[in-house]
Amino acid sequence: MRHRDLIIGLAAGELAAWPLAVRAQPPKVPIVGVLFGGSAALLKATFPPPFLAGLGELGYRDGQNVTIQHRTAEGRYERLPALVSELMAGKTDVIVALASPASLAAKAATSTIPVVFSIAADPIALGLVASLNRPGGGNITGTTFLSIELTAKQLELLHELCPNAEVVGFLISPAAPDAADQTTRAQAAARSLRLALQVVNARAEDDFEAAFVSLAEQHAGALLVGGDEFLISQSARIAGLAARHKLPTLAGLRVFPARGGLASYGASLAEALHQAGLYVGRILNGNKPADLPVVQATKFELVINLNTAKALGLTVPQLLLATADEVIE
């Protein structure tokens, strides 16, 4: 065989083998980045099971055919822009933004990477989407459990649990994007129930002691905790201070009575996170966020910690016990 024919034959063989080598390369494993303004401990305690269940329904398993990365700001919301930049630098395919601060940071950071939010606030009022049914032509959609809309109901339930309380505290984080809206709704609800509302702020961990001292000075007989991931992350601390000050406390998520608070009333966080997992799976399968309507909560839960009620000397009305979705004993 002539030298020229040998070279041509070798080249042809390499070209024939090249598509097989390309096909043999494993496909890229998609990366899902989770962004949260609260603590890593709270994220670990509440996020994985329902989210992974939803993601699994679309055939995705963490560590097998999808990689999930987490970034938490530990209550320091100013860190969120840098954290979302880290996720973007890591070639994240979808960003899951939990709560309002993380969702706003993700929306501000990218208009191309799909974002799935899960928030308690109104996503239209926050400017995240144009409408619930048609999020718009952008890259963002998600779930909302509208806990702010439940403020009046929460205060009403707290009043039923503590009928002798004439002054009710309202604990809010001023760093929350919707802090003013939450406060306005709480004040309106208090007026309708003829209660005096004492608003106290907690922006950092060191603020809680002073907040409870202020409530004691104002003779508050009960406490409503606002919806914010920083406050949720501090639920054990809040429950401990409430027990020390003998202050019945109600919040929007089950994590509060689970950690010693009196009660909670709000949308099912597990349902919202499960839906977020479903949406991430659909996006990884090719759906566009703009074609996925924002899902509103449909399941609401009343949880009462009967042990805490007994420790506070409270008698929980039988009607509330009968209608509670869970009684912790």
Output the pTM of the full model.
0.81
pLDDT, tens digit, 9 for 90 and up, residues 270-288 = 899 999 999 999 999 999 9
> What is the rounded CA–CA span in Å between residue 291 and residue 135?
7
Mean local confidence (pLDDT), 90-96: 96
pLDDT digits (tens, 9 = 90+) for 53-89: 999 999 999 999 999 999 999 989 999 999 999 999 9
Same domain, 37 and 134: yes
pLDDT digits (tens, 9 = 90+) for 107-152: 999 999 999 999 888 899 889 999 989 887 789 999 997 666 788 9
- 167 with 316, same domain? yes
Q: Are residues 311 and 211 in the same domain?
A: yes
Q: Are residues 115 and 188 in the same domain?
A: no
CATH code of the domain in which 312 resides:
3.40.50.2300
Tokens coding 76: 């320091």
Do 193 and 124 share a domain, yes or no?
Answer: no
The confidence score (pLDDT) of residue 9 equals 46
- Cα–Cα distances in angstroms (integers) from residue 252 to residues 59, 184, 195, 224, in the given order: 32, 17, 20, 9
- Would 134 be classed as within a structural domain? yes
Whether the per-residue pLDDT at 289 is higher than 80: the answer is: yes
Quick one: 181 and 320 in the same domain? yes
Q: Residue 61: which domain range?
A: 31-145+268-298
Q: Can you read off the two tokens belonging to residue 100?
A: 């309002």
Q: What is the pLDDT of residues 220-241, one digit of tens each?
A: 999 999 988 889 889 999 999 9
307, pLDDT greater than 60: yes
Give domain status of residue 235, yes or no.
yes
Beta bridge partners of 301: 266
For residue 128, tell me if it sits in a domain: yes
Q: Which helix (H) or strand (E) holds 229?
A: helix 229-233
Same-domain check for residues 140 and 278: yes
Strands 300-305, 295-296: parallel, antiparallel or unpaired by DSSP?
unpaired
Query: How many domains in the chain?
Result: 2
Q: Name the DSSP class of 326.
A: E
Same domain, 63 and 160: no
Instruction: Note the pLDDT of residue 188.
Output: 95
Q: Say whether 223 sits in a helix, a strand or coil.
A: strand
Calculate the average pLDDT of the chain. 90
**Does residue 139 form part of some domain?**
yes
